[in-house]
Amino acid sequence: MGDALMTSSLLRGKFFAFFAQRGCALVPPAPLVPENDPSALFVSAGMQPLVPYLLGEPHPAGRRLVNAQRCVRTDDIELVGDAAHLTFFEMLGNWSLGDYFRAEMIPWSWEFLTSPEWLGLDPHRLCVTVFGGDERGPRDEETIALWQAQFARASIVASPGDRIFPMGRGENWWGPVGASGPCGPDTEMFYDTGRPRCSARCRPNCGCGKYVEVWNDVFMEYEQASDGSIRPLAQRNVDTGMGVERTVAALNCLPSVFDGDMFAPLMACLAGLSRHQGPEQQVSARIVADHVRAAAHLIADGVVASNAEQGYVVRRLVRRAVRHGRLLGLPPGCWQPLITAVAATHPALHGKAAAIAEHLGEEQTRFEQTLERGLRHFERLAAKRFTRSDGISTLGGEDAFELFATYGFPLEMTAELARERGLRVDREEFQRAFAQHQQRSRQGVEARFAGGLADRSEPALRYHTATHLLHAALRQVLGPHVEQRGSHINAQRLRFDFSHPARLSPAQLQDVERRVNEAIARDLEVRWEEMDAEQARRSGAIGLFPERYGAPLRVYAICAADAGPTEVTFSREVCGGPHVSHTGALGTFRILREQSAGSGVRRIRAVLQ
């Protein structure tokens, strides 16, 4: 790569151009909150919005795709603050939907990484890991042979254990997102940073930082069922992932992801605002930077801080950022300049900075009203620690629950405070205390449901179709300001979030329920056609996130079977599908509950009987 600086925009442009030359269509990213796919709280990988197409449904843009996807992962949130971990990040990816496979992808990977026209990496500083096999699947010999051929092009002898490292299922097997879905072996590419070896057994994934992963090719040959069994997929797919922040840091030999261009304005803003600066504040600065950036993107995508599901994650991020902001000595009212700095390198936030900063300020105010008292109470509780039979000093779970219920401390925040003092929290006791108060625990990505868009079972299709009827009925009763803010579907019920400023009256709820059931009783036809975005708008289709589907778009219309193309329909929405063919298959629609889901957002839970 020489001495040229690799920026995030340059990396993106090279990646898109490389795969455009190989027939891949550039498709827009999906929002961070999956629509009608509650197998996960957030989109955490580029392949997640593509699951139906990986399972065989035709994609509107074809069989070769490329894009850049915003992702959120919260399972490693306690590790944020080191050199590599992020809650929010951007992932470059290309896909083959039953088209090219190993024999094409591995040579392409080598060419993109090493060719002077592209990234121009020194091949002598590359090594790879592959699936080494286990009782459930054989070693990936084909991938090993293909990599040996690529290294040989650079006159490098590579063999298993030397530049090519076979590893176990935990390292080199890509499992499904959720309990079921496409899966398969993967191969990961690592760049040698030039740091000393940590030991004679130093290798990729040893954790010492000498090797940095820059790319991942997944060969999705199988589908895992919810019982864990695996069967061959009807089509073989390729799914790759290149993290923009990590790759930019590796290619520029930067000490951390926080030193790259995507963080530069934000880190500079933090340095200017912080009253306390020094090596001991570095971790806090990184935590604030990551959490502010992640929360900003989630709020921009319609998630509001709350005590449940996605909103819980926003609340957790903001409260953790507030605590570490206090350690930095950040002044009051710092959200606006911080969010402005984030938006400088993230076009998805343009025009939204003021509203995001206002929401963050409100959440901070709610938390800080009790934070100081809560910290003092924590110190008193920590002094009462007890020692378990195994010799571990522990903070009681009931004490942790008291901090949660009285002072708004998320369990993870209490656990973090405890770790700083050499303590552990009795999580089992916390959960028992939580259950006694008849509340549901929402911790990071542990909240899971089954079903959704990736679930094409008949019950899921019925509920997916019912959300369209509900959306249309709400707009008829309340007005066109109603917009979908999220939905979760399984085989037993639906949950639908929508924008509306006030509680619905009993009469309004009865009216909505009546309109949905009348549409079901008429046995309306569910039809779809493909059109571009302008045609979709002219047709009257509503679509909160039409960019997620690529072009052309699918527009689903629910109307009388003999309705012409210009006649009024009950519902017309941009959607990825699938649905039932007629509304008569839905049964009787019944609203169970209507409640708040955050500021300006209402939630309806309903069933089909």
Mean pLDDT is highest, among 43-52, 110-119, 341-350, for 110-119
Mean pLDDT of the chain: 85
Per-residue confidence at 379, pLDDT binned at 50, 70, 90? confident
Residue 577 pLDDT > 60: yes
- Mean of pLDDT values over 75-93: 89
Residue type, 597: A
Q: What is the CA radius of gyration of the chain?
A: 25
Residue 444 has pLDDT above 90, yes or no: no
Helices and strands of the chain, counted as H and E runs: 17, 20
Confidence at residue 387, expressed as pLDDT on a 0 to 100 scale: 66
- Work out whether strand 126-131 and strand 163-167 pair parallel, antiparallel, or are unpaired: parallel
Of all residues in the chain, the percent with pLDDT exceeding 90 is: 37
Question: Within 10 A of 113 (CB to CB), how many other CB atoms are there?
Answer: 22
Of the listed ranges 54-63, 219-228, 261-270, 387-396, the least confidently predicted one is 387-396
- Name residue, tokens 């998320």: 410
In Å, what is the CA distance from 545 to each residue of 33, 469, 588? 11, 18, 29
553: which residues sit within 8 A by CB, 6+ positions away? Answer: 60, 530, 531, 532, 533, 536, 543, 546, 574
pLDDT value of residue 561 = 66
The mean pLDDT value for 223-237 works out to 84
Confidence of residue 117 (pLDDT cuts 50, 70, 90): very high
Region 71-99: mean pLDDT is 90
Burial class (CB in 10 A: 0-12, 13-18, 19+), 267: middle
| Spatial separation of the C-alpha atoms in residues 574 and 270, rounded to whole Å | 41
Q: Please identify which residue in the block is written with the tokens 């959490």.
A: 291
Average pLDDT over residues 437-454: 36
Instruction: Quote the pLDDT of residue 438.
Output: 39
Locate tokens 């079903």: which residue? 451
Residue with tokens 């090594």: 127
Banded pLDDT at 177 (limits 50, 70, 90): low
Give the C-alpha separation, 575 to 37, whole Å: 13
The residue with greater pLDDT, 534 or 599, is: 534
What confidence category does residue 26 fall into, taking pLDDT thresholds of 50, 70 and 90? very high
- Given a cut of 60, whether residue 445 has pLDDT beyond it is no
Residue type, 550: G
pLDDT at site 446? 31
Give the pLDDT score at 142.
Answer: 95
Residue-range domains of the chain with CATH:
8-259 (3.30.930.10), 264-446 (no CATH), 458-608 (3.30.980.10)
Helix, strand, or coil (residue 532): coil
Alpha-carbon torsion, ordered 169, 170, 176, 178, to 10 deg: 140
pLDDT value for 266: 94
Residues in the chain: 609
235 by DSSP, 3-state: which?
Answer: strand
Predicted confidence at residue 418, as pLDDT, reads: 86
3-state DSSP call for residue 137? strand
As a whole number, mean pLDDT of residues 374-387 equals 78
How far apart are alpha carbons 466 and 477 in whole angstroms? 16
pLDDT in tens, 538-571: 888 887 444 444 456 778 889 876 665 545 578 9
CB 262 within 8 A of CB 246: no
At residue 4, the pLDDT reads 63
Residue in this structure with the two tokens 């061959």, named with its chain if needed? 232
Whether pLDDT at 505 is above 70:
yes
> Please, which pLDDT band fits residue 591 given cuts at 50, 70 and 90?
very high
- CB atoms inside a 10 Å sphere around CB 104: 14
Cβ proximity of 222 and 232 under 8 Å: yes
Structure tokens at 414: 């209490």
Residues 6+ apart with CB under 8 A from 42: 32, 33, 34, 71, 72, 73, 74, 298, 310, 313, 445
3-state secondary structure of 240: strand
Higher pLDDT, 260 or 601: 260
In the prediction, which pLDDT does 449 show? 31
- Condensed to tens digits (0 to 9), the pLDDT of residues 136-175 reads 888 999 999 999 999 999 999 988 888 999 999 888 998 8
Q: Per mean pLDDT, which of 390-404, 468-482, 485-499 is the most reliable?
A: 468-482
Q: What is the pLDDT of residue 391?
A: 66
| pLDDT score, position 159 | 86
